[in-house]
């Protein structure tokens, strides 16, 4: 198990070196074989994906949340990538800062509130794209949900993509990363880079700088495991010309069309579309309530989406699994382990996004501690 104190010290030094801009030592660290002789990634059971870190305990997408997730046994740490006004890639979920930072209390930024069109809706708030990295680094973050532990509020700041990657690379076992190309249409509209580069170019360029490459289960991939995710199929297709790293198409509610192509849920989950997109992705990441639609907080009949995806050799990584009773359907009797059991044993998915990495790790250890069978290499044909 990773030494939290040791890794914390390393990360604190790296964040200090980064100052108000992206880490100036990033390229040098990127050339180091930091995963040499480490405990390898487990590949014998479903993956434990730390959704925004261990954010059930610590504010999301912070260094502390990711360190905690690694300590608790996460296979992958997951993050959302957006961009600052001056073009730095950062780890943050929302395009506005309102819900999880102290921006509303910062009088110097009071005049920065704006209204923009985001995926067809008018949204008002303090937008990330209107702030430089230096300004974003001056903010402090808090727990998103008031029913979770509040003791870590205002202790941590916003991470850059470089800092996130360094947390994974400096763990004392191999830990994968699972970044999302977040709101690419919006980012490309509001942030401009030199040479006509796009958000997606900067995203892939950062991964390549640190040596993330290779097809799923290849030697390069196992050394630095990576899944790239996005709700925007055109972004995934576009970056396929730049990297052969495995990608997943995220799928939201049945009522929400794709943000870039305006396709319906039913179109992108059809056999024809899955057969098309499998040329570019290794799997899909659906919201779990679209796989098994609930009614009155009870599970309904399961759809055949998982079976159809598996028939096309696509992995299925549903989101998001949370321990709190308010997120557990009545069928699970307020027991998150019962939910894990159902999804992994009955539905047969390949990975879970969870806010509570420790709980999922314990379940996986208890139920499959010493499996020798390697994970099936689902993915597009070679």
Q: Model confidence over 281-309: pLDDT tens digits? A: 999 999 999 999 999 999 999 999 999 99
CA dihedral 27, 29, 32, 35 (to 10 degrees): -130
Predicted structure pTM score? 0.91
Query: Cβ distance 73 to 361 under 8 Å?
Result: yes
H or E stretch including 137? helix 133-137
- The confidence score (pLDDT) of residue 368 equals 79
Segment 207-230, tens digit of pLDDT: 999 999 999 999 999 999 999 999
C-alpha span between 82 and 159 (Å, rounded)? 11
pLDDT over threshold 70, residue 315: yes
47-367 sits in which CATH class? alpha beta
- Neighbour tally for 147: CB within 10 Å: 9
**CA 87 – CA 91 distance, rounded (Å):** 13
Peptide bond into 320 cis (omega under 30): yes
Would you list the domain boundaries of the chain? Answer: 47-367
pLDDT digits (tens, 9 = 90+) for 1-20: 444 444 454 555 444 444 43
Q: Which of 40, 43, 42 is nearest to 374 (CA)?
A: 43
Q: Taking 70 as the threshold, does the pLDDT of residue 335 lie above it?
A: yes
55-82 pLDDT, tens digit per residue, is 999 999 999 999 999 999 999 999 999 9
- Give the rounded percent of residues in the chain with a pLDDT score beyond 70: 87
* pLDDT on residue 36: 64
Q: What is the pLDDT of residues 247-266, one digit of tens each?
A: 999 999 999 999 999 999 99
Q: Say whether 124 sits in a helix, a strand or coil.
A: strand
The mean pLDDT value for 308-331 works out to: 97
What's the half-sphere exposure (Cβ side, CA atoms, 13 Å) at 158?
A: 32
Q: Report residue 196 as tokens.
A: 């006509």
Q: How confident is the model at residue 268 (pLDDT cuts 50, 70, 90)?
A: very high
């Amino acid at each position: 198990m990773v030494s939290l104190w040791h890794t914390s010290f390393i990360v604190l030094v790296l964040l200090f070196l980064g100052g108000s801009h992206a880490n100036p030592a990033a390229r040098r660290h990127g050339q180091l074989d930091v995963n040499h002789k480490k405990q390898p990634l487990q590949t014998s059971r479903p993956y434990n994906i730390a959704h925004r870190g261990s954010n059930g305990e610590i504010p999301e997408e912070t260094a502390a949340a990711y360190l905690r997730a690694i300590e608790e046994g996460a296979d992958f740490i997951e993050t959302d990538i957006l961009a600052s006004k001056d073009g730095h890639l950062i780890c943050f979920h929302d395009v506005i800062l309102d819900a999880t930072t102290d921006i509303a209390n910062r009088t110097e930024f009071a005049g920065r509130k704006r209204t923009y069109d985001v995926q067809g809706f008018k949204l008002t708030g303090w937008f990330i794209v209107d702030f430089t990295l230096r300004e974003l680094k001056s903010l402090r973050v808090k727990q998103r949900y008031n029913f979770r532990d509040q003791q870590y509020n205002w202790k941590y700041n916003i991470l850059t993509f470089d800092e996130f990657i360094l947390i994974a690379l400096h763990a004392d076992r191999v830990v994968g990363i699972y970044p999302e190309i977040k709101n690419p249409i919006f980012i490309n509209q509001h942030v401009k880079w030199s040479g006509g580069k796009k958000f997606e170019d900067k995203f892939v360029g950062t991964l390549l700088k640190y040596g993330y490459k290779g097809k799923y289960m290849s030697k390069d991939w196992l050394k630095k495991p990576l899944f790239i995710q996005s709700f925007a199929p055109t972004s995934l297709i576009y970056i396929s010309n730049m990297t052969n790293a495995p990608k997943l198409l995220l799928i939201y509610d049945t009522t929400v069309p794709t943000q870039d192509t305006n396709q319906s849920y039913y179109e992108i989950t059809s056999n024809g579309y899955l057969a098309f997109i499998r040329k570019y992705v290794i799997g899909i990441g659906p919201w779990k309530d679209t796989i098994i639609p609930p009614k009155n907080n009870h599970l309904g009949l399961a759809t055949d989406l998982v079976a159809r995806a598996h028939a096309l050799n696509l992995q299925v990584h549903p989101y998001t699994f949370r321990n709190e009773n308010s997120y557990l359907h009545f069928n699970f009797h307020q027991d998150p382990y019962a939910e894990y059991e159902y999804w992994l044993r009955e539905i047969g998915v390949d990975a879970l996004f969870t806010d509570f990495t420790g709980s999922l790790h314990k379940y996986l250890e208890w139920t499959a501690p010493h499996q020798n069978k390697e994970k099936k290499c689902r993915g597009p044909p070679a």
